[in-house]
Amino acid sequence: MEVIYVNKSNRHTFLAANEPSVIALGFFDGVHLGHQQVIKEAKKIADEKQLQLACMSFFPHPKEVLKRDKKKIQYLMPMIVKQRILKSLGVKKFYIVQFDQDFASLTPEQFVQNYLLDFEVKYAVAGFDFNYGQFGKGNMNRIKEDSKGLIEGIKVEKVEFGGEKISSTLIRKLISSGKMDIVHRYLGEHYHIQGKIFSTKNSVEVVASPYYLLPPPGVYEVTVSKGDEIDNQVVLVTQETPKIIFSAHNNRLLADQEDIHIGWIKRLSPGMFTILEEQPSLSQEA
């Protein structure tokens, strides 16, 4: 998969290399089940029409640029992980467009001309609530008109769970309140983060890669994995930093400086030590 960072100054340099494509549009933080439906639909059309499958996302998140309070979004994953997942879903070209005030001020017609038609897009696929152009005025019902009939817009219906729209915002809220045991119903799998192990004689800690939202302090059941190796563990997330501390030290997956994945299964306790003290592995260490 080719990854292309686009902004208003370099936009023209990519135009000659573009080929007719089907494009999936949106931010796609977490690539949850709603997002996967959008990409699947785009892939189906790309396969049928024998066109390239592309995806266009934006950075930073439009809400970080447009919201008056400019609150930082706590992302569910770094861009590099999003790229890996999109590639696994069959995306061949991934455009990441710089989202700034100038870009946000493009009219819907300008966005469609400069970023879709000029990029040889033939079919645009997005969810029922995707908006584009100044004030978010453009939507999937008018993309054909905005492209003078040259782009077919495909609107994906709402993917829900329990009567609620699956969204990155909802998943962030679930993680922030420690509801790790239900996140997979929205995400399609348990929430995962990547990090590096820092191991000393007395403690094993993980420092998460930047751009991951971490669950709140408490004790959690997790999986730890590296390549095909996977193990169940109990960790403590502390308030400060926040740090992730393992209860078991004697595991080869937890060797110093190893890069590992943590899958968050369930919060066992919001308290700090109540459950950890009952873990045999920890009492042996003590």
Ligand X SMILES: Cc1cc2nc3c(=O)[nH]c(=O)nc-3n(C[C@H](O)[C@H](O)[C@H](O)COP(=O)(O)O)c2cc1C
Interface pattern 32-71 for ligand ATP (x via CB under 6 A) = --xx-xx---------------------------------
Nearest distance from C-beta of residue 33 to ligand X, angstroms: 15
Nearest distance from C-beta of residue 227 to ligand ATP, angstroms: 30
Say how far apart CA 149 and CA 2 lie, in whole Å: 28
**Beta-strand pair 229-237/218-226:** antiparallel
In terms of Cβ atoms closer than 10 Å to its own Cβ (0-12, 13-18, 19+), residue 12 is exposed
Is residue 111 near ligand X by the rule CB under 6 A?
Answer: yes
Residue with nearest beta carbon to ligand X: 26
Is residue 131 near ligand X by the rule CB under 6 A?
Answer: yes
Say how far apart CA 127 and CA 286 lie, in whole Å: 53
Helix segments in the chain, DSSP class H: 33-49, 62-66, 79-88, 101-104, 108-111, 143-146, 168-176, 180-187, 280-285
Say how far apart CA 139 and CA 282 lie, in whole Å: 55
Is residue 146 near ligand ATP by the rule CB under 6 A?
Answer: no
Is residue 246 near ligand X by the rule CB under 6 A?
Answer: no
Binder to ligand X among 1, 3, 4, 104 (CB under 6 A)? 104
Binder to ligand X among 26, 30, 153, 215 (CB under 6 A)? 26
Say how far apart CA 223 and CA 264 lie, in whole Å: 7
DSSP secondary structure letters along 133-150: SGGG-EETTSHHHHTTT-
Is residue 209 near ligand X by the rule CB under 6 A?
Answer: no
Which CB, 166 or 183, lies closer to ligand ATP? Answer: 166
Is residue 108 near ligand ATP by the rule CB under 6 A?
Answer: no
Is residue 127 near ligand ATP by the rule CB under 6 A?
Answer: yes
In terms of Cβ atoms closer than 10 Å to its own Cβ (0-12, 13-18, 19+), residue 98 is middle
Residues that bind ligand ATP (CB under 6 A): 25-29, 34-35, 37-38, 126-130, 156, 158-159, 165-169
Residues that bind ligand X (CB under 6 A): 26-27, 58, 62, 66, 103-104, 106, 111, 130-136
